[in-house]
Amino acid sequence: MVSAIILAAGSSTRMDGVNKQLEKIADTPVFVMSALKFERSEKVGEIIITAPEEDVSRYEKFAQNFGVEKLSAVVAGGETRFRSVMNALEKVSPKADFIAIHDGARPLIGTEDIERVFADAEKYNAAIAATPVTDTIKVVGSNGFVEETVPRAKLYAAQTPQVFRKKLFLACVEKLGKTAENVTDDSSILEQCGEYVRITEISGSNLKITRPDDLVAAAAIHMNKRTVKMI
């Protein structure tokens, strides 16, 4: 069984004071749309959502009202991403073999892509959604001048969901101790522990909403997907 953790407790610092998780795409709050993608997977047995401490009950009502039937808990997020993950892990069922960590601000992920990440995680113990880097990447010095152009053939942009065998993830957290507190990408915990992480190249749009313009783009992509399915 997979326990899906939806991280929705961020501060939305680049959203001009707007809580991006509660903004709506096609009348559905962003974090709820993310959760519903996992709701549709037969492999997901429960969904745990992190929320700002003052909004836990509000998020819970939204999730229930919009049909997140596999919701098992809404918990207060921590000061860091790692702390939010650990708070959610306290509520994970003992029956869960895998945990799937997903940004609530990535509502466009397709359930089909989620299933592909699950399949790779089952085979390799750890797998993350990712896309090839298409831009040319420059390494720039403190003086503002280019020091190096990085070959992009092996470069991927890490996204979510990131799926791990639960026992392996917890063992790595214990092994790293306080070092784990500083990670901004969950798979880095396993990498620093010497474990292999499989890249699952996803096929659809997985835009992360970080700025107001991203909401407009996400709504347009969502509408386009619906239009294509009706043709």
Can you give the pTM of this predicted structure? Answer: 0.93
> Is 19 within a domain?
yes
Which CATH number goes with the domain that contains 58?
A: 3.90.550.10
> Is 136 within a domain?
no
Q: Which residue has the tokens 């466009």?
A: 108
pLDDT given for residue 79 in this prediction: 92
- C-alpha 229, offset from chain centre: 25
> Is 183 within a domain?
yes
Closest CA to 104 of 32, 48, 158, 156: 32
Per-residue pLDDT band for 231 (boundaries 50, 70, 90) equals very low
Query: What is the mean predicted confidence (pLDDT) over 193-215?
Result: 92
> Is 138 within a domain?
no
> Over the stretch 66-107, which tens digit does the pLDDT of each residue have?
999 999 999 999 999 999 999 999 999 999 999 999 999 999
Closest CA to 222 of 40, 18, 27: 27
Position 6 pLDDT exceeds 90? yes
> Is 18 within a domain?
yes
> Is 49 within a domain?
yes
Residue 121 sits in which domain range?
2-131+157-230
Over 149-165, what HEC string results?
Answer: EECCCCCEEEEEEEEEE
pLDDT given for residue 37 in this prediction: 97
> Is 143 within a domain?
no
pLDDT given for residue 222 in this prediction: 86
